[in-house]
Amino acid sequence: MHFGEDRNAYEGAVVPPIFQNSLFTFESWEAIDAAYEDRTNRFIYSRGKNPTVQVAEQKLALLAGAEKAQLFPSGMGAISAAVLHCINAGDHVIAIKNIYGPANNLLGNYLTQKMGITVTYVPGDKLEDFEAAICDNTRLIYLESPSSAVFGLQDLEAVGALARSRNIRTIIDNTWATPIFQSALALGIDMEVHSCSKYIGGHSDIIAGVVMGNAKDIDAIATREYAWIGAKTAPFEAWLILRSLRTLPIRLRQHQESAMKIARFLEAHSKIKLVRYPGLESFPQYALGQKQMSGYTGLMSFQLATEDLEKIKTFFNSLQLFKIGVSWGGHESLIYAPAISYLKELSLEQFTAMGISLGDMRISVGLENADDLTNDLEVALEKIQA
Ligand SMILES: Cc1ncc(COP(=O)(O)O)c(C=O)c1O
């Protein structure tokens, strides 16, 4: 709540100001010269460090148990920078299957073509698969646990130890659990990346991202990928994140409580074939989740028991409180059907080979009253004719 805020420096203001300035001025040649000597820590030009951004970064680092954090203008900005920091042309990367789509495009498509990297995909649930995929030139293992598409978990402690023993860097996309529910760095992962556009922002009014890790990595990313590629975080965005962080644990507690209620309701419903939610005892990797996470957030998916597209659309279009949209982690409940976007790129056979069906629904349980949300789902499910 108070960490990183020097209220005496802001006339006692209870909320830090937005430092909306492009540059900082100095008294003398000697003063600016001294600032340049310590440029990773000093305010010189806002494409580098900015005081409002720094307060948000310090709070985020504290939450994650990281030495440092670097904010980015989007989660993808953070992911791209962390990956580029770890690899060179021609390197080999191991990534889990079903990572967030644009991260997959970056690794398996863009960097493959531009930098000649190679990628091996592993399901992520068995350590042997990671071990078998390691080559002489493997430099990075990229994780997402739980993954936002199928909610697969990886054993972070085991993968972290394996990677360290082979001198391979590790990055986890920790957006689903947030630093509140999963301390990935303490479990031995080198760096964690987040889309702050989800729970960390939480109000559906920010696009931002963050990379967190040790000071050496984060200073290198701040100097090179952040400043040279020019991915500057807006002070206003950082200020909104400060606002959001003050309620993050409280919001997460409510997301978790409502999501558990809804997951249990769905699991018991005759028109639902299966529910994917790491907080349910029936979740195949429940024990691993209990070992490495201290809570569960509000994003889950479920499969309707029908494959009839008209019936599926009837359910989808009947919801009133769950709004139709692609993101998650905000105050508002959302629904999305992966078939809408995937079937534009994949055949039905390729789509079902991913373990997803036409009746798959992804919901983000928001902060509305949980009974109202359950009722909304119940009414829409009743509309599906047997
Ligand atoms: C798991 C995950 N990681 C990263 C991102 C990218 O974040 P952003 O949209 O802030 O670039 C998203 C966005 O949906 C996501 O779902």
Task: Count CA atoms within 13 Å of residue 271 on its CB side.
Answer: 18
DSSP 3-state of 98? coil
| Ligand 1 atom nearest 77 alpha carbon | 11
pLDDT score of 349: 81
- CA dist., res. 320 & res. 43, Å (int): 48
| Ligand 1 atom nearest 148 alpha carbon | 1
Residue 246 neighbours by CB distance under 10 Å: 13
Tell the residue number behind the tokens 């299957």, with chain if given: 97
When the pLDDT of each residue in the chain is averaged and rounded to a whole number, the result is 96
| Ligand 1 atom nearest 209 alpha carbon | 10
Tens digit of pLDDT for each residue in 240-265? 999 999 999 999 999 999 999 999 99
Cα(143) to ligand 1 centroid in Å equals 14
| Ligand 1 atom nearest 78 alpha carbon | 11
pLDDT score of 333: 98
Pocket probe mutation, ligand 1, options 74, 99, 194, 198, max atoms within 8 Å of Cβ? 198
- CA dist., res. 227 & res. 239, Å (int): 20
Residue nearest to atom 7 of ligand 1 (CA): 75
Pocket probe mutation, ligand 1, options 97, 173, 175, max atoms within 8 Å of Cβ? 175
- CA dist., res. 19 & res. 10, Å (int): 11
Cα(35) to ligand 1 centroid in Å equals 35
Q: Which residues contact 23 (CB under 8 A, 6 or more apart)?
A: 44, 45, 46
- CA dist., res. 63 & res. 143, Å (int): 20
Q: Quick one: pLDDT band at residue 315, thresholds 50, 70, 90?
A: very high
Cα(175) to ligand 1 centroid in Å equals 8
Cα(160) to ligand 1 centroid in Å equals 23
Residue nearest to atom 10 of ligand 1 (CA): 75
Residue 182 neighbours by CB distance under 10 Å: 26
Residue 267 neighbours by CB distance under 10 Å: 15
Q: Phi-psi category of 208—alpha, beta or left, where left has phi over 0 and alpha has psi -120 to 50?
A: beta
pLDDT score of 103: 97
Name every protein residue with a CB atom under 6 angstroms from any ligand 1 atom: 74-76, 100, 148, 173, 175, 195, 197, 207, 209, 327
pTM of the model as a whole: 0.96
Cα(179) to ligand 1 centroid in Å equals 15
Instruction: State the burial class of residue 310 (Cβ atoms within 10 Å of its Cβ: 0-12, 13-18, 19+).
Output: exposed
Tens digit of pLDDT for each residue in 131-153? 999 999 999 999 999 998 889 99
H or E segment at 346? Answer: none
| 49-69 CB burial, b ≥16 within 10 A, e <16 | bbbbbbbbbebbbebbebebb
Residue 364, strand partner residues: 299, 334
Instruction: State the burial class of residue 180 (Cβ atoms within 10 Å of its Cβ: 0-12, 13-18, 19+).
Output: buried
Share of the chain above pLDDT 90, in %: 93
Contact 87, 239 (CB under 8 A): no
| Ligand 1 atom nearest 79 alpha carbon | 4
Residues 149, 150, 153: CA angle, nearest 5 degrees: 110
Tens digit of pLDDT for each residue in 44-76? 999 999 999 999 999 999 999 999 999 999 999
DSSP 3-state of 358? coil
pLDDT score of 343: 79
- CA dist., res. 12 & res. 14, Å (int): 6
Q: Quick one: pLDDT band at residue 356, thresholds 50, 70, 90?
A: confident
Please give the domain boundaries of the chain with CATH numbers for all domains. Answer: 7-245 (3.40.640.10), 248-382 (3.90.1150.10)
- CA dist., res. 272 & res. 305, Å (int): 5
Q: Is the dihedral of CA 132, 135, 136, 142 positive or negative?
A: negative
At residue 360, φ and ψ (nearest 5 deg) are -75, 130
- CA dist., res. 144 & res. 69, Å (int): 19
Q: Which of 205, 241, 329, 242 is nearest to 1 (CA)?
A: 242
pLDDT score of 97: 92
